Structure 1
Amino acid sequence: MTDVINDAEAYGVEIIPAAVEPGQVYWKVIRVHHLTPEENGGRHHIFIDAVDEEGNRLYGSLFTISWDGGSDTVTIEKAPPDPGANFPMWKWQVCSVEGMGAPSDRVINLHTAHPDEGPGNTLFYHSFDITFLRTVAEEGETPAYSLLRGRVPGGGGHTLVLLDEHEVVQTQVVGADEQYRFSNLPAGAYIVRDSSDLRVAGPAFLDGRNEVILNFPAPLPEDRVFARYVLFSDPAWPETWVYLSLLAERLAQNDIPFGFQTSDAAQALKVSLVGVHPQETLHELTDAGCEVERLPLDPSELLQALESTQ
């Protein structure tokens, strides 16, 4: 069995194993590499290669790159020493890659919104190199005993729906202890939805062997409309539009409401301040019972700070 090398795990990149039967031909990811600043040279690409068991490049192989709202296909056609194919990622795009024509491992969470690492790797200029091996599945390569469990605060008696790629996998009624448990799961990216109050938890990435704890967010108090709100500074200031262009798409992707009105932000449990705000704004929000945090003014630190406080 070929060992898998993934030095991009520190950048949130995961490999979702293919669901295959022993003896079945499939695409196996054998290498995921985040390019160093020297290797990258300011690019923002996914580089893809496909090889056979002898290490020969498989020209004509097709791979799908998918993202929220779209997809594209690339063909292995370039000659060494160049990678067989490449795909340029744009700002805020989060991609996955998998082979076509056979079951395939899937590489997920590829994007460029990583902090500066020096010349060659700066915010929105990061690249990844992925190698797929066309091989035959061996015995024991398709485990299906992952466990997904957690707590649903206030969810006793609620019905949960487990989804994988928008397909219903299992359903379950939460007990009085507010705990849920889905077992014997194959590899996949799973979301759990509470059909009673529409809360959602996930995604949780399972490899067919691991155990993941995925707790639901607490239900909102009756006097709150939002769990979190991002309040931008005065829209008349040019700096505000820099921050907005940097964060708006990511906030929308994660269903985090945002705007410029303190009165709207005051309806949230937690408020994240972006840009410069007068002290009166802070007082108004704290008086309304909001938890308030100030995010960094440096754009290169802003995205990382936003994600670390979710």
Structure 2
Amino acid sequence: MQVEPSSVNLASHYGVAIDSMLPQGAGRYWKVRQVRHLSPEENQGRHHIFVQAHFHPDSTSDEVLFLVEWEDGSQEYKLRRSRRESIGHVAMFTWQVCNVQMLGAPSEVVSGLTANHPDELLEDGTRSGNTLFHHSFQIEFEEVIEETEESIIHGLVSNGVGLTLRLVSDNEILGEGTIPRSGSYRFKSIPAGDCVLQVIDPDSGDLVVESQIVELDGSNEIELDLDVPEAPAASEPAPAAPATESPESPTPALDNSLPPTPVPSAEPLTPAVPPAPVASSSADLPAVPAAPPVQPVAPAQPAAPLQAAGVLSVKTIDHYILFGPREHFATKVYLPLLVGELTATGATFGFSADEAVHARRVTILASPDVVGPEVDQNLQLQGTVVQRAYGDLATIRAAIGLAT
């Protein structure tokens, strides 16, 4: 979360800062190579921001967007690729203070850009090309593409419906979930190393089947099928398995929601909603419509769609704080107030729901009309526990564990 030493700020004495809010493991991002104030000879009385983009040699982009924000608005601008570099310029108006960042990937932000600086006189006392409201800056952004560890294992498990599939490396569980009716599974974003797949009876915790050792290099994709012999636990424990009788195993909560038959559906977002109303109506409490959100048992709900989708993501982040879009008013208000403490505590935060998928717990700091409820549902499909907090600052701070 801190600005890397290679980011050079030659305009700090003009109030310019480089703000780094890059999420961990961004993979591809834009960092500031340099920002500087133009000399009088270079500027010649202009009041502009000159933006230069240095593309990574492996980048396939032909154009890129950058965003200029100020107190009352914002504007996107396009740069076209030319010999790995693009240059553009934007005029600054009187009293305008601007922030600039690249779009399309996480980006460092240059803030405090303004032409509202006094005259810079020459040695003979005459005015130069830099006068009040006539100052300019040049920003160089560099595209960084890091090698990320993203091996994938996928395949089919035969005769394993309702059992637990677990990915293990060095006795550490990298990911697990309930085997769907289709039998298909997919573990993604797996670091390099040796792994095994295990099929576990969710009621007894016994190992049913274990695969051979799979070698992952951080970039390869492996297809591996498993056969469960005569499925000893797949059919019987399910009817006789009240979730309350197996508290010692964490997976019954996932198995609890197995009955929703939307399993054949390839669109898990639709079945994600029905379980709550169905569970509440069967409770014979029609006079208490407010009970459904509480009664379905929060931990069980995210796991049902996970099983239906057959897609399991490795949880490499304990807690991810998901802000709303950068340009939204609430984000621009609360982020500057929180970023210092979040950085100091080592918290993982950002603006990407795709990154949040890899967290065990996600706190969304935005109302549903800013970050839609479909984001909650998608995260829950991946087995992530989701909460929301928005409104006043005290509520938000309490939700993300900061002292009030």
TM class by smaller structure:
0.3 to 0.5
Please report the TM-score for the alignment, with normalisation by the length of structure 1: 0.44
Greater Rg over alpha carbons, structure: 2
Structure with greater strand percent:
1
Please report the TM-score for the alignment, with normalisation by the length of structure 2: 0.34
